[in-house]
Structure 1
Amino acid sequence: MSSKLLSSPLVSAQWLADNINNPEVVVLDASWFLPGSERDPVQEWHEKRIPGARFFDFDKKIAAPDTELPHMLPSAELFSREVSELGIKEQDTVVVYDSQGMFSAPRVWWMFRTMGHHDVAVLDGGFPAWQKAGLELETGAPEPPVMTEYKASFCPNWVIDADELNARLGDVDTVVLDARSAERFYGTAPEPRPGVRSGHMPNAKSLPFSQLLSEGYFLDTEQLSKRFDALSDPEQNLIFSCGSGVTACILALAAELTGRKKLTVYDGSWTEWGRKHKYPVV
């Protein structure tokens, strides 16, 4: 049933409103804010959310433990356990949103795809779009989900580590696209995390995630295609990087919307690359 619901990895607020009462549709709030922000995404979810939305904590809870890098992709076992506790089934259609419009939700879309879940989409415009449409809100303590037995199937083609990426930097069939601002890419602005070098990888190309969005919504497919066509051929392997693996997933989702298929996210992103001096920086 759920496999027929989605025609795109991007859905509108109206689509979600029309399908929200389907028992096989699960809504996830994946809000996350940059370090130093005064906002608390869990508190905001408690206070106000799309009806039935469950909170997906990819920063602290559904992330690899015992690593100095932020919110790294967890093992399939940890993912399965946490997603089971959220009451999600393998046949469910998962719709992810965040409170900034389009910022952290694509990270969770990518995580589900990496774990073999195809029926997952992001709400275009996020929570602001839902509110702007005047749709129903839920407030107060959320209902605890009924636990399920979810089993992830890890898809290694969706993720790459630093050593493999380093070995592919000179590959003519591969393009690395960096979602950070142009100032950070070219090293004219400092990195926000201490001990991280400024600059970019050799042969990488700059594609700030903000160039793919307008007021929290994705540009139309034709405009997105032009952005990617200017930097790559449709058949090339695209590897996406950013500061810590969050906004790289905005690029991955945008590329998927254009029909590109060879998509990979560098999970450690610049936090790892810029910190470790064995990796080259331009």
Structure 2
Amino acid sequence: MFRTKLREIVSTEWLNQNLSNSSIIILDASITTGANGKEFKKFDLTIPNARFFDLQNVFLDKTSPFPNTIPKPEQFELECRKLGINKDSEIVVFDNNGIYSSPRVYWLFKVMGHQKISFVDGGLPDCIEKRFQTEKKRIKTIEIGDFEVQFNETLVVDFEWISINTIKKKFTIVDARSESRFNGIGKEPREHFKKWKN
């Protein structure tokens, strides 16, 4: 075990000190654009030995008409195995925005039944600012893992559940979008979604 007690958030200092620990799998969850179409800073650097966790093209359900729908469990399992992730892997995930997309990866693994995961406070920008070790991004040859999904359906709700709750009001629903998008006055940057806006 690389830590005596599992922590949800680790510092960049901690990550830098544990780069040589072979029990850790480091995932780079950097994305290029946000939900509002904002372009994010692109780095040609990553953390040493990091494996790219592609949220925008791989770890989502491409058959869904809605963006960022969680991948089907069997798809998630297969793609994790391709990244060399095992059933007992201890994972640390970071991103290029400090802390933006990495918590989603953390949550995805929780949904899929994997508990040994943390995300990095400050992410890649903090590592660069503090001049911690980085390396040029490159394609890596990775041995296939034996990761297995244990899907936790209690962490996911669907549209029907949300719709019923607006009437029964058993739970509080929090909308994390920007104020303009919440109020329906923000411009929709995604062309294929403009047809949904009333």
1:19, 1:3 → 2: CA distance?
A: 10
Pair 1:37–1:28, CA change in 2 (3 A): same
The gaps in structure 2 that reach 5 residues or longer are: none
Q: 1:167: how far off?
A: 0.9
SS in 1 for 2:174: strand
Pair 1:85–1:48, CA change in 2 (3 A): same
Q: 1:72: how far off?
A: 1.6
The number of residue pairs the alignment matches comes to 193
Moved over 4 A (4+): 35-41
Pair 1:184–1:123, CA change in 2 (3 A): same
Residue matched to 1:157: 154
1:124 aligns with 2:124: no
Residue matched to 1:11: 10
Pair 1:140–1:55, CA change in 2 (3 A): closer
SS in 1 for 2:119: strand
SS in 2 for 1:168: helix
1:159, 1:25 → 2: CA distance?
A: 27
After superposition, what is the alpha-carbon deviation per residue over 1:3-39, rounded to whole angstroms, capped at 9, x for unaligned? Answer: 7352x21110011112222212111111113275666
Code of the residue aligned with 1:88 in structure 2: it is: I
1:191, 1:38 → 2: CA distance?
A: 14
After superposition, what is the alpha-carbon deviation per residue over 1:223-280, rounded to whole angstroms, capped at 9, x for unaligned? Answer: xxxxxxxxxxxxxxxxxxxxxxxxxxxxxxxxxxxxxxxxxxxxxxxxxxxxxxxxxx
Match of 1:94 among 80, 91, 95: 91
Pair 1:164–1:2, CA change in 2 (3 A): farther
Residue matched to 1:65: 62
Residue matched to 1:134: 131
Pair 1:24–1:153, CA change in 2 (3 A): same
Contact 1:51/1:137 (8 A) holds in 2? yes
SS in 2 for 1:64: coil
Pair 1:110–1:98, CA change in 2 (3 A): same
Code of the residue aligned with 1:22 in structure 2: it is: N
Residue matched to 1:197: 197
The gaps in structure 1 that reach 5 residues or longer are: 199-282
1:191, 1:81 → 2: CA distance?
A: 33
Percent of matched pairs sharing the same residue: 31
SS in 1 for 2:195: coil
1:181, 1:140 → 2: CA distance?
A: 32
Code of the residue aligned with 1:127 in structure 2: it is: L
Pair 1:66–1:140, CA change in 2 (3 A): closer
TM-score (norm 1): 0.63
Pair 1:180–1:91, CA change in 2 (3 A): same
After superposition, what is the alpha-carbon deviation per residue over 1:80-123, rounded to whole angstroms, capped at 9, x for unaligned? Answer: 11101101112122111111112111111111010011111111
Contact 2:41/2:97 (8 A) holds in 1? no
Code of the residue aligned with 1:168 in structure 2: it is: N
2:31, 2:137 → 1: CA distance?
A: 20
Match of 2:112 among 111, 115, 123: 115
Contact 1:98/1:104 (8 A) holds in 2? yes
1:84 aligns with 2:81: yes
* Structure possessing the higher relative contact order (Cα contacts under 8 Å, 6 or more residues apart): 2
Q: 1:40: how far off?
A: 9.1
Residue matched to 1:24: 23
Code of the residue aligned with 2:70 in structure 1: it is: L
1:188 aligns with 2:185: yes
TM-score (norm 2): 0.87
2:186, 2:107 → 1: CA distance?
A: 28
SS in 2 for 1:4: coil
